[in-house]
Amino acid sequence: MKFNTKTIHGGQEHDPAYGAVMPPIYQTSTYAQTTPGGHKGFEYSRTHNPTRKALENSLASIENGNFGLAFGSGLAAIDAVIKLLKPGDEVISTSDLYGGTYRLFTKIFEDFGIKFHFIGMDNANKVASYVNDNTKLIWIETPTNPMMNIIDIKAVAEISKKHNLLLAVDNTFATPYLQRPLDLGADIVMHSATKYIGGHSDLVMGALIVKNEELAKKLYFIQNASGAVCGPQDSFLALRGIKTLHIRMQRHCENGEAIANYLKNHPKIEKVYWPGFEDHPNHDIAKDQMDGFGGMISFVTKGSDYDSAIKIIENLKIFTLAESLGGVESLAGHPASMTHASIPKKEREKTGVVDSLIRLSVGIEDVDDLIADLEQAIE
Ligand SMILES: *Cc1c(COP(=O)(O)O)cnc(C)c1O
């Protein structure tokens, strides 16, 4: 099955009860048993729910994995991965990281005795020098948020395999439409399904997808034991979102390219971060491991300071000033004060998240309207 068919049919069967084409929303916490243990595979909805199961099967299918797990948020999914570890274990993570992930690592898990090394991974070979006997996991995000750096998944996977480590990839920005990390050697794919997977800014959800059965069993155990699952209503919405993922992503990419080029040629714009540019430092890797460059763009205006960046954002009319990304509507954000406020200013600026940086999540509206909106806000 090809990707555009998998989004609609992958891992799906018609509901056994009445043949419903879409899985019903099984809004139930529990399931009748005929005798203790005499059930139809479902006992309690923290452990299993048929609507969530349908979503998890779809997630596994579109990421070319064998097992999918859905959680109450992206961070809950990351939390489950780190719970594979024990005190004393070490993690090598990208430094250019979603702010909430950084906060979870440093403010929660460091207190439990897990050590994190945050490093730039534009050159994958750097990773190897941080591996020691305690290293258990490599955590990467690519393209990174919000600097749109690209990490060579295949090269990092070689290092993780050589040292018998797990490699987890946050695939939120790319989605499986553009990039399939399991095919490139990763062990775990993670999503904030809140973003492109759901695609309509109407839910908060996380996902993990793996190939290996033993690893899947450990994660299912954590999912049930820690209990950060998503409900059936949200599972239904995410599943509906996935059915149009391919056509939404196609338009996000088209609009993203047009806007990236518009900004790049604008006399008032200093720098545009988008992996589709040939002069992007890791453009060749992006071209190699991605099927397109997506609709996430960051930029800095010339001589720009905090105030003028804020003014542009406030003047946008079609782009909505909001946290989050990946919905059908275009959003603009100010990473330094919003998504990345939880990273100390000094750390933040080291990775390029300056006060004047603006991040766009380009939606699927008519691109002429989006460009006109940017034009009037920048002027
Ligand atoms: C939003 C986001 C997360 C966190 O997901 P939530 O669903 O908000 O918990 C993690 N990684 C990336 C890249 C994100 O954009």
Instruction: Work out which ligand 1 atom sits closest to the CA atom of 78.
Output: 10
Ligand 1, atom 6, lies closest to the CA of 74
- For residue 140 and ligand 1, the question of a CB distance below 6 A is answered with no
pLDDT value for 338: 87
pLDDT above 90 (res 145)? no
Distances 143 to 9, 153, 203, 292 between C-alpha atoms, Å = 28, 11, 23, 12
Q: Which phi and psi (to 5°) does residue 201 adopt?
A: 50, 40
Looking at residue 287, what is its pLDDT? 97
Token pair recorded at residue 251: 């338009």
The answer on pLDDT for 370 being more than 90 is yes
**Nearest protein Cα to ligand 1, atom 2:** 192
pLDDT at 144 exceeding the cut of 80: yes
Average pLDDT over residues 161-190: 98
The number of C-alpha atoms within 13 Å of 163 and in the hemisphere containing its C-beta is: 22
Site to substitute for ligand 1 among 147, 148, 195, 353, most atoms within 8 A of C-beta: 195
Cα-to-centroid distance, 257 and ligand 1 (Å) = 23
The packing angle between helices 74-82 and 213-226, to 10°, is 110
Is the CB of residue 148 below 6 angstroms from any atom belonging to ligand 1? no
What is the DSSP code (8-state) at residue 139?
E
| Residue 125: C-alpha distances to residues 95, 122, 131, 157 (Å) | 15, 9, 11, 11
Q: Which tokens in the block code for residue 157?
A: 């996977």
Per-residue pLDDT tens for 82-103?
A: 999 999 999 999 988 888 999 9
Token code pair at residue 210: 């793996």
Structure tokens at 305: 């300071």
Mutate to test the pocket of ligand 1, among 71, 73, 75, 144 (most ligand atoms within 8 A of CB): 75
User: What average pLDDT does this structure show over 265-274?
Assistant: 95
In the prediction, which pLDDT does 125 show?
Answer: 86
Determine whether the shortest distance from the Cβ of 170 to ligand 1 is under 6 A: yes
pLDDT at 9 over 90: yes
How high does pLDDT run on average in the chain?
Answer: 95
Could you tell me the distance, in angstroms and rounded to a whole number, from the CA of residue 18 to the centre of ligand 1?
36
In this prediction, residue 304 carries a pLDDT of 66
pTM, full prediction: 0.96
Which tokens in the block code for residue 268?
Answer: 């008032």
**Average pLDDT score over residue span 343-369:** 91
- Inform me whether the pLDDT recorded for 283 exceeds 70: yes
CA 121 to chain centre: 18
Q: Is the beta carbon of 23 within 6 A of some atom in ligand 1?
A: no
Q: Which atom of ligand 1 is nearest to the CA of 77?
A: 9
Query: Which whole number is the average pLDDT over 356-363?
Result: 96
In angstroms, the CA 197 to CA 61 distance is: 13
Q: Is 170 a catalytic residue?
A: yes
Q: Check if 142 has its Cβ closer than 6 Å to any atom of ligand 1.
A: no
- Residue written as token pair 């920048």: 378
CA gap 207, 36 in Å, rounded: 32
Reply yes or no: is the peptide bond before residue 143 cis, omega within 30 of 0.
yes
Q: Given a cut of 90, is residue 342 above it in pLDDT?
A: no
Distance 148 CA to ligand 1 centre (A): 15
In this predicted structure, the answer to whether residue 230 has a pLDDT above a threshold of 70 is yes
Count of beta carbons in the 10 Å neighbourhood of residue 32: 9
Buried b (16+ CB within 10 A) or exposed e, 257-270: bebbebbeebeebe
Residue 210: what pLDDT? 98
Q: Which of 9-23, 49-63, 359-373 shows the lowest per-residue confidence on average (mean pLDDT)? A: 9-23
Name the band, by pLDDT with cuts 50, 70 and 90, for residue 364: very high
The pLDDT of 274-297, averaged and rounded, is: 97
d(CA 241, CA 62): 13
The yes-or-no answer on residue 195 being catalytic is yes
- pLDDT band at residue 291 using 50, 70 and 90 as cut-offs: very high
Q: Residue 339 has what pLDDT? A: 80
Ligand 1 atom nearest the C-alpha of 326 is 15
Ligand 1: nearest atom to the Cα of 206? 7
Select which of 53, 136, 180, 195 is catalytic. 195
CA distance 99 to 72: 18
Instruction: Output 351 or 38, whichever has higher pLDDT.
Output: 38
Q: Report the share of the chain in percent with pLDDT over 90.
A: 88
**Gap from CA of 86 to ligand 1 centroid (Å):** 24
Residue partners of 123: CB distance under 8 A and separation at least 6: none
Instruction: Output the CA 75–ligand 1 centroid distance in Å.
Output: 6
Any ligand 1 atom below 6 A from CB of 73: yes
Residue at token pair 């730039």: 120
Measure 154 CA to ligand 1 centroid, in angstroms: 23
Phi, psi of 274 (to 5 degrees): -160, 125
Residue 314 has pLDDT above 80, yes or no: yes
Q: Determine whether 248 is an active site residue.
A: no
Radius of gyration of the chain (CA): 21
The question of whether 177 is a catalytic residue gets the answer no
H helices, E strands: number in the chain? 14, 12
* Lowest mean pLDDT across 10-19, 49-58, 150-159, 358-367: 10-19
pLDDT digits (tens, 9 = 90+) for 202-211: 999 999 999 9
Residue 84: its pLDDT value, please? 98
Which residue has a Cα nearest atom 5 of ligand 1?
74
| Distance from Cα 199 to the centre of ligand 1, integer Å | 13
Q: What is the dihedral sign for C-alpha 225, 228, 233, 238?
A: negative
